[in-house]
Structure 1
Amino acid sequence: MITVQSFAFNYFSENTYILHDDTGEAVIIDCGCYFPNEKQEVIHYLTTNNLTLKHHLCTHLHLDHVLGSSFIEQTYGLKPRAHKAEAELPSTADQARMLGLPVQLDNIQIEQYIHGGESIPFGHSELTALLVPGHSPGSLAFYNKKNGYLFSGDALFNGSIGRTDLWGGDMEVLVTAIKNKLLTLPDETVVYPGHGPETTIYNEKMNNPFL
């Protein structure tokens, strides 16, 4: 059984997820911790639960989802992984400047790419990477079939979908990707989005006005 711990971090109330099983191996998805107290929350959770981080995954490289990436790399020695198409985005420093945010950041360097379709193992568990572009050029979601969990990033929200007016966004591409890659998952799949509360695939099929 996978345990999912969520945190709402930074200026954007971005959802960061730590998931782990009974082996103590863990994955962090979209580490957005920026302020010192937020970083301490991550350290405290990993330490008190005796967890070992095995993977540092990014659904995409918009600023709010990577504000803690350098912290994870420096503290735990894990470089972030994302899709190669995310290299089309402005650097994190440029994004901050364009958005007028007073943050000091190192630019994120991706050295190991996730292409979509591959399995990412940890402990006795695994995630499958799903390519769902449209919110950004290389947006990914991560699916755990055994527990029925989907980490959708900013592709799919409770009652909404990701905005497409940022760098590399495309509404038609996003809706098509959601319908083909995410809404085909079992209805009972729990969706953990990049912002806001969780939902289910069934709920989004029935009630999401954008789909």
Structure 2
Amino acid sequence: MLVIKEFHFNPFSENTYVISDSETGECAIIDAGCYYADEQDILSGYIIDNNLKVKYLLATHLHLDHNFGDRHVYNTFNVGLTAHPDDAFLLDNMKEQASMFGIQLQDPPIPIDHNVHENDIFKIGKYSLRAIHVPGHSPGSIIYYCKEEKIAFGGDVLFRGSIGRTDLPGGNYNQLITGIREKLFILPEDTVIYSGHGPSTTIGFEKKQNPYLQ
């Protein structure tokens, strides 16, 4: 069974996910947004208490609210960051991003350890996640799609009834809308999208109800 654990972390109320194969204990952390020490303890405590083996630290994109906990994950589980190289510039100015929101970063962000590209496959036990590149919210935004379970982890690309912001550095509205229509709306309508903020949604609901995509 594929187990999905959702956490809500940091002042931006970001969604962090741990997905694991119940048979092998292998897991992936998607968007380690844990900022405060107690949040970091909650994340690592869940993994340790359930005897999980962290195989991947996957970033849907490299905005600061989705990556506060990357260094903690690396220090605790010795797993490097997997992200799209087109977002690497966001790591370089993360300290400046944080100061704009009155947030102090204790340490510089860890660099990308493994570059992810379109159609890369990540195996977690018997399950597979396929990378789908949908730029527009950020240049390197990635969806991690599990076909057999009909689920996808979409970061800030697509929300229930909304889409990701495109007014941030590297954002592009037309690119985002095109990517959603051409790459996500071809997925089965009952595919569940686990977003980077807020509740989950489905492809079918967004095709019918999302005002940005009619």
Instruction: State if a TM-score over 0.5 links the two structures.
Output: yes
Structure 2 residue identity aligned to 1:55 = Y
Deviation at 1:104, TM superposition (A): 2.5
Taking the TM superposition and a 5 Å limit, the aligned residue runs for 1:171-190 are: 171-190=173-192
Structure 2 residue identity aligned to 1:158 = R
State whether residues 95 and 104 of structure 2, in contact with CA within 8 Å, keep that contact through their aligned partners in structure 1. Answer: no
Give the alignment partner of residue 161 of structure 1, picking from 160, 163, 166. 163
Deviation at 1:97, TM superposition (A): 2.1
Aligned length in residues: 211
Query: When the two structures are superposed, what TM-score results if normalisation uses the length of structure 1?
Result: 0.97
Deviation at 1:98, TM superposition (A): 3.1
Are 1:98 and 2:93 counterparts?
Answer: no
Q: Deviations over 1:55-114 (max 9, x none)?
A: 000010000000000100111101111001002334221211233323323223013100
- Kindly report structure 1 stretches of 4+ aligned residues shifted beyond 4 Å: none
Unaligned runs of 5+ residues in structure 1 are none
State whether residues 93 and 104 of structure 1, in contact with CA within 8 Å, keep that contact through their aligned partners in structure 2. Answer: no
Taking the TM superposition and a 5 Å limit, the aligned residue runs for 1:124-203 are: 124-203=126-205
Structure 1 residue identity aligned to 2:16 = T
State whether residues 91 and 107 of structure 1, in contact with CA within 8 Å, keep that contact through their aligned partners in structure 2. Answer: no
**2:17 corresponding residue in structure 1:** 17
Larger displacement relative to structure 2 (101-110 or 152-161): 101-110
Q: Supply the distance in 2 between the matched residues of 1:85 and 1:3 (Cα, whole angstroms).
A: 30
Deviation at 1:50, TM superposition (A): 1.1
Q: Deviations over 1:157-206 (max 9, x none)?
A: 01100001111001000000111111110000011000000111111111
Deviation at 1:32, TM superposition (A): 0.2
Taking the TM superposition and a 5 Å limit, the aligned residue runs for 1:1-12 are: 1-12=1-12
Q: Supply the distance in 1 between the matched residues of 2:177 and 2:107 (Cα, whole angstroms).
A: 32
SS of the counterpart of 2:179? helix
Query: When the two structures are superposed, what TM-score results if normalisation uses the length of structure 2?
Result: 0.95
Q: Supply the distance in 2 between the matched residues of 1:188 and 1:108 (Cα, whole angstroms).
A: 36
Deviation at 1:48, TM superposition (A): 1.8
Q: CA RMSD in A?
A: 1.1
Give the alignment partner of residue 107 of structure 1, picking from 106, 109, 118. 109
Q: Supply the distance in 2 between the matched residues of 1:62 and 1:43 (Cα, whole angstroms).
A: 21
Identity %: 46
State whether residues 93 and 105 of structure 1, in contact with CA within 8 Å, keep that contact through their aligned partners in structure 2. Answer: no
Unaligned runs of 5+ residues in structure 2 are none
**1:32 corresponding residue in structure 2:** 33
Structure 1 residue identity aligned to 2:165 = R
Structure 2 residue identity aligned to 1:166 = L
State whether residues 19 and 26 of structure 1, in contact with CA within 8 Å, keep that contact through their aligned partners in structure 2. Answer: yes
Q: Supply the distance in 1 between the matched residues of 2:51 and 2:93 (Cα, whole angstroms).
A: 34
Deviation at 1:130, TM superposition (A): 0.4
Q: Supply the distance in 2 between the matched residues of 1:132 and 1:121 (Cα, whole angstroms).
A: 21
State whether residues 19 and 28 of structure 1, in contact with CA within 8 Å, keep that contact through their aligned partners in structure 2. Answer: yes
